[in-house]
Structure 1
Amino acid sequence: MSFLSPTLRLENLSTEPIMTQDHIPEDQRYNKQNIVAQWCVPINGKMYRIELEHGTTSGRRMIWVNGREVLRRDWMFKLVGEDTFHIDQIRCIIRVDPAPGFKYEYSLYIDGKSHDQYTEEMTRQYRLWLYTQDSAAETSQEYRIMLKLDTLSLYVNDELRTEESAFVHGGTDTKFLLQDTEFVLQARSSGNKHDGIVHTLLANGVAVPEAKIQEIMQEPVSILQAN
């Protein structure tokens, strides 16, 4: 005679761990307070915010890209190691290594390069401008404009633009309109081989300061919306 009710017989009990988060909607699983490391990475002209959740007591490891879950491991008894995931077909690895004082170090590798090496490489490959459009409404529009130098591909808030360039004296001008702001991307010869072509972005005739991609990549939340 069983003391278990018909719905609680041993053969009816689930063998799956009961501490998973599958039953919780994704937007509720994301908790900024649980993030232990974050990086900002431009890949193929688009900017991505990568965040790691490393639960040393729960054994849970989660990776978020722009606020979306891309990897989750529950009940990880080994708290160190590496996890692999892909962004736009680019292989990324997050490594968790032990550190003195019962702490951990977190490292990101993109396409086989450390985050620092990748940042240095991207600095040579891209030009970046940040522009905030003033508006009479309560909210203002922010634009992140990136130019990939080898292909001259132009991205605005991660979207590839197809704009025609016009030849002018000393170089080219690429004009595009965003709401009521006219942008002109100027390409001019610097006059020496070391500097090559100099790119300047104008918004309604006023030069937009170029952003330092090294600093921007260390401050992901300031330029990416938390989805």
Structure 2
Amino acid sequence: MSNLESDLVATWTVPMSDKVYKIEFEHGTTTGKRILRVNGKEIIKHDWMFKLVGREIFELNGVSIDAVGIFAYEYTLQVGGKTYEKFREQQKKALLIWLVRMAEEEIRICLEKESMDVWVNGSKVETTGEFVEEGGTKTHFELGTGAGAFILSQSSGKRQIGLVHQLYVNDALIRPCEGNEDEAVGRTLWPTGYN
């Protein structure tokens, strides 16, 4: 087992509008070494001989992220002042994500439900709104491949559900990602000490 594998104590996936970030936290519990990686890139590294616990604060897309390992080596992540679990629940309600395969390329499309902003592969795209006769709106945009796409937003007819958003690419209905935010990075490893 390599040193990297033995010191990796927590991995989190953090869904944002532009993409899903994978945060890894290494902690040498006997050496005090702490390394924080975002999508494989090392952003914080400390080799503290005597400081075995503490917190690491960094910013991601203007949101403050706080990786904490304070008591008994329980590792938590706070995003924008919220617990990791609360933040993920909030993002699950706020974002709708589709993965579309076109010409051997996987395209990630994200709808911010409140603002109706559309992101394609990490970039916010220009959209054009149109009211439809059946009620609701079509939000038109183009994919980098030149393909036409739109999101049809209509009332579900149920107060608890609200609007239903459906993505069409070249007039074909695309199903959203199940679980919504993790498919873009794959498997989630729950952090050590997760309750």
The answer to whether the superposition gives a TM-score over 0.5 is: yes
CA distance in 2, matches of 1:114, 1:45: 21
Instruction: Report how far residue 88 of structure 1 moved.
Output: 2.2
Distance 1:221 1:198, change over 3 A: closer
Q: TM-score scaled by structure 2?
A: 0.81
Question: 1:20-56 CA deviation, whole Å, 9 max, x = no partner?
Answer: xxxxxxxxxxx67753321111235443221112123
* Contact in 2 for aligned 1:49/1:220 (Cα 8 Å): no
For the residues of structure 2 that align with 1:207 and 1:77, how far apart are their CA atoms? Answer: 57
CA RMSD for the aligned pairs?
A: 2.4
User: How many pairs were matched up?
Assistant: 182
**What is the aligned partner in structure 2 of residue 16 from structure 1?**
none
Change (3 A) 1:70 1:220: farther
Structure 1 pair 32/150, CA: closer, same or farther in 2 (3 Å)?
Answer: farther
Q: By percentage of residues, which structure has more helix?
A: 1
Aligned match of 2:87 in 118, 136, 154?
118
Deviation at 1:107, TM superposition (A): 1.0
Deviation (angstroms), 1:116: 0.6
- Partners of 2:68 and 2:178 lie apart in 1 by 26
User: 1:32-47, aligned counterparts within 5 Å?
Assistant: 35-43=8-16, 45-47=18-20
Shift of 1:95: 1.1
Corresponding residue of 1:204: 170
Q: 5 Å matches for 1:20-169?
A: 35-43=8-16, 45-99=18-72, 104-133=73-102, 135=103, 140-169=104-133
For 2:148, give the aligned amino acid.
Answer: E
Residue range with higher mean Cα deviation, 200-209 or 155-164: 200-209
| Cα distance in 2 between the residues matched to 1:130 and 1:44 | 13
- Structure 2 residue runs without a partner (length 5+): 188-195
Following TM superposition, by how much is the alpha carbon of 1:69 offset from its aligned partner in structure 2, in angstroms? 2.3
**Which residue in the other structure is 2:136 paired with?**
171
Identify which range, 35-44 or 155-164, moves more after superposition: 35-44
